[in-house]
Amino acid sequence: MALTSTVHRLTIALSDVDRGVYESLEVRIARHPSETAERLVARALAYALVYEEGLTLGPGVSTGDEPALSVRSGDGRLLLFVDVGTPTGDRLHRASKAAERVVVFTQHDPALLVREAAATRIHRVSEIDVYAFDKAQIAALAERLDRTIAWEVLRSDGQLYVTVGGKTFGADLPKIPLQRLDA
C-alpha cells in the first residue's frame, strides 16, 4: 500500500516589517512521505516570507518542474516562482526564463547554490533572490512540528523570528548573491 501525504494546518501571524506585510494566514500544507520535516518548515516559512495575493502552494516534492510556491496572473503568466532547497542551475535557468521573479529559500549550505550558479548559465542570474535559513532555527522548528501549527513570524532588518508555543527562535536571514564568475 502506498504511503499518503500528511496534511498540516498552519496558522501564521505574519509581521514582515522589511516588506510592510502584516497578515493573518491560514494554510494547509501537504507533506509527502519522502519530505523531511526541515523541508516542510522551510516551505511554510517561504510561504509567509513571500506572501502576496494569489500565492499558491505547489503540488510538493513528487512533481518535477513545478515550483514550491507560485503566483500567476489572470492570463496564466507565471509572475513568481519560489523554490525551496537546492535547485539545480538548469532548474533556475528554466524558472528565470518562465517567471518574472524567482526566489529561492534554502535550508542547506548556500555555497552549493553559489557554486551551481557559477558553473551553469542561468538566465538573469543576478535577479534571482536567494535567502539562507539558519539550520539551527529550522531544526528547532522541525522538532516542534505538529499536525496543527501556530506561528508568529516576524522579519525585520534581515532577522527572522518565529514564535511557537511561547518560545521564540531568532536568526539572520541573509540574502545570498548569485552570479556567474565569468559574467
Q: What is the pLDDT along the chain (183 residues), one digit of tens a residue?
A: 557 888 999 999 999 999 999 999 999 998 888 889 999 999 999 999 999 999 999 876 655 678 999 999 999 999 999 999 999 999 999 999 999 999 999 999 999 999 988 899 999 999 999 999 999 999 999 999 999 999 999 999 999 999 999 999 999 999 999 875 444
CA–CA separation, 10 and 136 (whole Å) = 21
For CA atoms 106, 112, 116, 117, the dihedral sign is: positive
Classify burial at 76, counting beta carbons within 10 Å of its beta carbon; exposed 0-12, middle 13-18, buried 19 or more: exposed
Whose cell is 548573491? That residue is 177
CATH topology of domain 6-176: Restriction endonuclease-like alpha-beta roll fold (3.10.640)
Predicted confidence at residue 178, as pLDDT, reads 87
The overall pTM is greater than 0.85: yes
Predicted confidence at residue 183, as pLDDT, reads 43
Predicted confidence at residue 182, as pLDDT, reads 43
Predicted confidence at residue 5, as pLDDT, reads 85
Which helix (DSSP H) or strand (DSSP E) does residue 172 occupy?
strand 167-172
User: Domains of the chain: which residue ranges?
Assistant: 6-176
Predicted confidence at residue 151, as pLDDT, reads 98
H runs (alpha helix) in 26-82: 37-49
Predicted confidence at residue 63, as pLDDT, reads 58
Whose cell is 494547509? That residue is 28
